[in-house]
Amino acid sequence: MDTTSMFEKTAGGNSPVTGIVTLLTLAKYLKGILTQDDINRAKLNILFILFNGETYDYIGSQRLLYDMLNGYFPVKGLHETNDILPIIRPDDIELFIELSQLGNNMDKLYVHYLQNSTQIDSFYSKLRNYSEKIKDVPSSMPPASLHTFMKKLPSFPGLVISDHETSYTNHFYNSIFDDAVNIGFTYDPNATEQNSLQYFIANVSEVIGNRVYETITGKHYSGKYTADVVLVNELFQCYLEDPNCKVHRATQKGKLPKVPLSLYVGVDHVANYATTLTSLTLGWLTADDAGESNINCTNNPRKLRIQVLQHVEKHSELNVTRCYKVTMNTTDAISPAFIIPDYNWTSDNTAPGRNPRGRK
């Protein structure tokens, strides 16, 4: 969720904002179509992760893989048989789905993977059955966090969904010109054209969401719930134009400046406010309603990594607040080189010193 553009008022329109907005929309869609009975019967769980520091040698994904391999994820110090949070290792991941740049080609979607597997073939077949606009690109992998896992674990099951086949369609990747104009975004709180980016991202979220639903439940979704194009519209405004948008006002009470939040990855001891807002938004979209809100929402009895947050019920009704319960966490995206005792600095190009840091 970061970009290398260091200039003020630049946001990373196609990379990473289209991927972030798609993930958040997908999260809300799956929350809306999965019933409690579906969840009880499902053999697989869904874990949403946003990485920071990826434009600088995949810092966030390297740290996640390091934690997983050492039994530190999601929380370091838990016993293997604890009944609070299961320890997640790479072998526990059935399929890694990465959402890459998605805003510069509304005619085709491309599914990249380096080597086939039963999981990848099954998921791609489900996507392909829905639309002929989806094409696989085997033995191909654009720059992606998935590289971190496959470098260490060559048979790791993962795929990347993007708007490009063999080369970037985003000519302003990681530059000051990767903005709302670059991806054709125009905010209108009252109406959105059906041939717009907003409708395209909502449709992509719905297509992927239905295939994920089918993968974890073993059945097709036959309901009438649809991806929220109004939410897509508001989310793009949050990241590209005005952080003091309806979604951010729904999740927190602070007044934000009317300039795009910086997605340039910070250094140690410098907070990344975009990370905080994104985590609150993801929590809000996937949380369970915990009842009416008075002054405070209390996590009682207190449970590890389960947070009870005070949010509004809808971004269209900012004066009605409720309590929401969600399992979520943010951790420092610090390169493992800075936490491994007696690390051999000659084994890598990274120089010792002040480390880039973000949040996963």
Residue-wise pLDDT tens digits, 215-225 = 999 999 999 99
Residue from 50, 92, 37, 99 nearest 328 by CA: 50
> What are the backbone angles phi and psi of residue 68, rounded to the nearest 5°?
-65, -45
Write the secondary structure of 274-319 as one string of H (helix), E (strand) and C (coil). HHHHHHHHHHHHHCEEEEECCCCCCCCCCCCCEEEEEEEEECCEEE
> Does residue 306 surpass a pLDDT of 80?
no
pLDDT tens digits, one per residue of 277-293: 999 999 999 999 888 76
> Does residue 355 surpass a pLDDT of 50?
no
Long-range contacts of 122-125 (CB under 8 A, 24+ apart): 122/215, 123/95, 123/97, 123/159, 123/211, 123/215, 124/159
> Does residue 359 surpass a pLDDT of 90?
no
Alpha helices in 131-244 (DSSP H): 146-152, 197-217, 229-240
Task: Give the whole-angstrom CA distance, residue 197 versus residue 185.
Answer: 6
| pLDDT value for 59 | 92
Amino acid occupying residue 223: G
Q: What size, in residues, is the chain? A: 360
| pLDDT value for 270 | 63
Task: Give the whole-angstrom CA distance, residue 242 versus residue 214.
Answer: 36
Report the predicted TM-score, pTM, of the whole model to 2 decimal places. Answer: 0.91
Average pLDDT of every residue of the chain: 88
Task: Give the whole-angstrom CA distance, residue 127 versus residue 358.
Answer: 33
- Contact indicator for 325, 311 with CB cutoff of 8 Å: no
pLDDT tens digits, one per residue of 109-149: 999 999 999 999 999 999 998 888 999 999 999 999 999 99
Amino acid occupying residue 30: L
For the segment 36-51, the average pLDDT, to the nearest whole number, is: 95
> What are the backbone angles phi and psi of residue 119, rounded to the nearest 5°?
-65, -45
